Amino acid sequence: MSLDPMDLKTNHSAPVLTDPAPISKSRLGVHSSLLPYSPSGTFPSDLFLAIPRKKTGVLDDVRARSWLDAMKSSSPPPKWMAKESNNEFSSTDTDVAYRTWQRQYPSALTSFEQIVKSAKGKRIALFLDYDGTLSPIVDNPDCAFMSDAMRAVVKNVAKYFPTAIISGRSRDKVYEFVGLAELYYAGSHGMDIMGPGKEVNLFQPAREFLHMIDAVFHSLMENTKEINGVKVENNKFCVSVHYRNVDEKYWATVVQRVHEILKQYPTRLRLTHGRKVLEVRPVIDWDKGKAVMFLLESLGLSNCEDVLPIYVGDDRTDEDAFKELREGNHGYGILVSSVPKESKAFYSLRDPSEVMEFLKSFVMWKQSSAL
């Protein structure tokens, strides 16, 4: 797995890039998929037009500048610069730092016995993130394929435990990558939930944003098209703007173009920051954590006493699920990371290959306990 520089920082080091005007509490719990979409007010009709921009290229907005800072602070200096300033850690230092970190976030592999002990008499529900968890991080998001071996293991594990894939990707895209009809899928960071079988929509809390997100996707495509390396991905209820392949000197331009679009929707859309990606999302009180709780409820597994939910993920958006489980004293979050970082998870795994080992262990444990 390629090491993502973003991992070198803790989750708390970068600002949270959210819109300041969250949805009102009165809408909490309301299935807004049941509400009609109203294109009034904040939805400009001329979004497909390129937006006139300043010639200077200097970021003129505090918020846009803080986005850029977050992108930069989550990337290490180039190797030559690190060497010159004597900043380069030896691999021994890195190993020591990782082992020290593991005291706080023990390996889920070495703690496997402990995990299954606490699962005794309980029903386990598995929640798996996709990118960086089931598939390695790669330069081209369209080529983030999971291995056949991983697919076989996920298929096996789903025979014994209800299993859901929770991803920032569109549900269709992640379904296409995973290809297992027997799973639950929550795409768009949990905003598009489907049950096993063919097209069983369970919940789409951001349905009213569908047209807006689509328009923003096209505007972002238009407004970033001349920036080399940018990739805009339509995730149905959110949009990803990837800058992994953009020269760092153009990151400010990426931010500026995203900001130009986003400021048209000051109360409707917000920006979050993932692994070399900016993500435009609706302002609704919904995230991967809420999706997990929704799925547990739908599965009739929301009784904490006899259910052990386990969530495996690598990204900031997975922290919402870790937090939900930790605060509800409800199962375990497992962070996938090959470098130390702060998390609400309980355990850790280094990379997707360790995730595969962990899932295999579950299958073996279940098979042996059925003998």
Ligand X SMILES: O=P(O)(O)OC[C@H]1O[C@H](O[C@H]2O[C@H](CO)[C@@H](O)[C@H](O)[C@H]2O)[C@H](O)[C@@H](O)[C@@H]1O
Task: Please count the helices (runs of H) and the strands (runs of E) in the chain.
Answer: 11, 12
Residue 59 in contact with residue 68, Cβ under 8 Å?
A: yes
Residue nearest to ligand X (CB): 168
Determine, following the binding rule CB under 6 A, whether residue 168 of this chain makes contact with ligand X. yes
Instruction: Supply 341's token pair.
Output: 């970082």
Q: To the nearest whole angstrom, how small is the minimum distance from the Cβ of residue 3 to ligand X?
A: 12
- Give me the helices (H) in the chain, please: 62-73, 79-84, 91-104, 112-118, 148-160, 171-178, 210-224, 251-262, 288-298, 319-327, 352-369
Q: How many residues bind ligand X (CB under 6 A)?
A: 24
Among 130, 177, 358, 362, binds ligand X (CB under 6 A): 130
Determine, following the binding rule CB under 6 A, whether residue 273 of this chain makes contact with ligand X. no
Determine, following the binding rule CB under 6 A, whether residue 236 of this chain makes contact with ligand X. no
Determine, following the binding rule CB under 6 A, whether residue 341 of this chain makes contact with ligand X. no
How many whole angstroms separate alpha carbon 127 and alpha carbon 107? Answer: 18
Determine, following the binding rule CB under 6 A, whether residue 144 of this chain makes contact with ligand X. yes
Question: Between 119 and 358, whose beta carbon lies closer to ligand X?
Answer: 358
Catalytic annotation, pick one of 4, 7, 129, 314: 129
Contacting residues for 69 by C-beta, under 8 A, at least 6 apart: 14, 15
Among 1, 23, 138, 363, binds ligand X (CB under 6 A): 138
Candidate segments 16-24, 202-210, 258-266, 274-282, binder of ligand X by CB under 6 A:
274-282
Candidate segments 134-142, 218-226, 322-330, 340-348, binder of ligand X by CB under 6 A:
134-142
Q: What is the DSSP letter of 155?
A: H
Q: To the nearest whole angstrom, how small is the minimum distance from the Cβ of residue 276 to ligand X?
A: 4
Q: Which residues of 18-45 are buried (b: 16+ CB within 10 A; e: fewer)?
A: ebeeebeeeeeeeebbeeeeeeeeebee
Q: Which residues of 173-183 are buried (b: 16+ CB within 10 A; e: fewer)?
A: bbbebbeeeeb
Instruction: Supply 238's token pair.
Output: 């959110």
Please, which of residues 9-68 interact with ligand X by CB under 6 A?
none
Determine, following the binding rule CB under 6 A, whether residue 337 of this chain makes contact with ligand X. no
Residue 235 in contact with residue 258, Cβ under 8 Å?
A: no
Question: Between 131 and 208, whose beta carbon lies closer to ligand X?
Answer: 131
Candidate segments 110-118, 239-247, 262-270, 321-329, binder of ligand X by CB under 6 A:
239-247
**Catalytic residue list contains 129:** yes
Among 235, 272, 337, 348, binds ligand X (CB under 6 A): 235
Residue 17 has a CB neighbour count (10 Å cut-off) of 18
Q: What is the DSSP letter of 310?
A: E
Determine, following the binding rule CB under 6 A, whether residue 319 of this chain makes contact with ligand X. no
Determine, following the binding rule CB under 6 A, whether residue 277 of this chain makes contact with ligand X. yes
Question: Between 74 and 317, whose beta carbon lies closer to ligand X?
Answer: 317
Among 129, 192, 208, 287, binds ligand X (CB under 6 A): 129
Active site residues: 129
